[in-house]
Amino acid sequence: MARVALVTGGSRGIGEAISKALQAAGYTVAATYAGNDDAAAKFTEETGIKTYKWNVADYDSSVAGIAKVEEDLGPVDVVVANAGITRDAPFHKMTKDQWQQVIDTNLTGVFNTVHPVWPGMRERKFGRVIVISSINGQKGQFAQVNYAATKAGDLGIVKSLAQEGARAGITANAICPGYIATEMVMAVPEKVRESIIGQIPAGRLGEPEEIARCVVFLASEDAGFINGSTISANGAQFFA
């Protein structure tokens, strides 16, 4: 039977490419989304991938949502914690709300997504946890104290989970995308974006599919000895 993969934020941006790539690799995929019903409906119509709506920042909603996914599709073998937001502001202007929203979604959201599937993975002696971090968790970023903190936190999460899951056949790894051509990066003011592209030796933004291919590899049986690692995919912009 096909393994089941859960992708949070899986109907748009990098998550959409991940959902599609996992489906193409033979997984039964469930994609979550937080609010954009139209995008989710269009995505399901195009791909046949089921979407589920819940807020990853809320633990009880995550538990209930994942229970529904497992009832529909079977136990989750691969979890991709991808959902994330930005609330960029220079630190002196950053509000407590901007800090908290990003922490709740990007960091607590990873806990809320992985914690409910972890016991089942331990019982079945197989699991793949893949967390989508960011180049900005590795190097920091002007106006992203909140976001960079969560993305650096992701790396601590996978290194710790890797040690806990290794004997149970579970791997936990992070991918650090550089600047990828998604709505999130397109929301950066054009002048700033141009200057960012100037700092990428590849001379271009990355494509969502370039991240999705890393996910498919980490999810595979072949990647079983890769555990607690970070894959950087950033066009040579930064070396961790």
Binding site for ligand CAA (CB under 6 A): 86, 88-90, 93, 134-136, 141-144, 147, 179, 184-185, 188-189, 192
Q: Which residue is nearest to ligand CAA (CB)?
A: 134
Element (H, E) at 17: helix 13-24
Among the listed residues 33, 52, 147, 179, the single catalytic one is: 147
Q: In angstroms, rounded to a whole number, what is the distance separating the alpha carbons of residues 112 and 211?
A: 23
Give residue 113's identity as a one-letter amino acid code. T
Q: In angstroms, rounded to a whole number, what is the distance separating the alpha carbons of residues 43 and 9?
A: 12
Q: Cα 128–229–224 angle (5° rounding)? A: 45
Q: Cα 224–225–231 angle (5° rounding)? A: 95
Which residue, 172 or 175, has its beta carbon nearer to ligand CAA?
A: 175
Which residue, 82 or 136, has its beta carbon nearer to ligand CAA?
A: 136
Residue keyed to tokens 């709300």: 97
Q: In angstroms, rounded to a whole number, what is the distance separating the alpha carbons of residues 127 and 61?
A: 22
Q: Is 27 annotated as catalytic?
A: no
Which residue, 152 or 166, has its beta carbon nearer to ligand CAA?
A: 152
Which residue, 142 or 224, has its beta carbon nearer to ligand CAA?
A: 142
Neighbours of 90 (CB within 10 A): 10
Query: How many residues in total does the chain contain?
Result: 240
| Residue 33 C-beta: closest distance to ligand CAA, Å | 18
Confirm if 199 and 192 have CB atoms less than 8 A apart.
no
| Residue 198 C-beta: closest distance to ligand CAA, Å | 12
**What b/e string do you get for 163-180 counting C-beta neighbours within 10 Å, with b at 16 or more?**
eebeeeebbbbbbbbbbb
| Residue 205 C-beta: closest distance to ligand CAA, Å | 10
Which residue, 93 or 167, has its beta carbon nearer to ligand CAA?
A: 93
**What b/e string do you get for 103-112 counting C-beta neighbours within 10 Å, with b at 16 or more?**
bbbbbbbbeb
Q: In angstroms, rounded to a whole number, what is the distance separating the alpha carbons of residues 9 and 187?
A: 17
| Residue 107 C-beta: closest distance to ligand CAA, Å | 14
| Residue 185 C-beta: closest distance to ligand CAA, Å | 5
Residues identified as active-site = 147
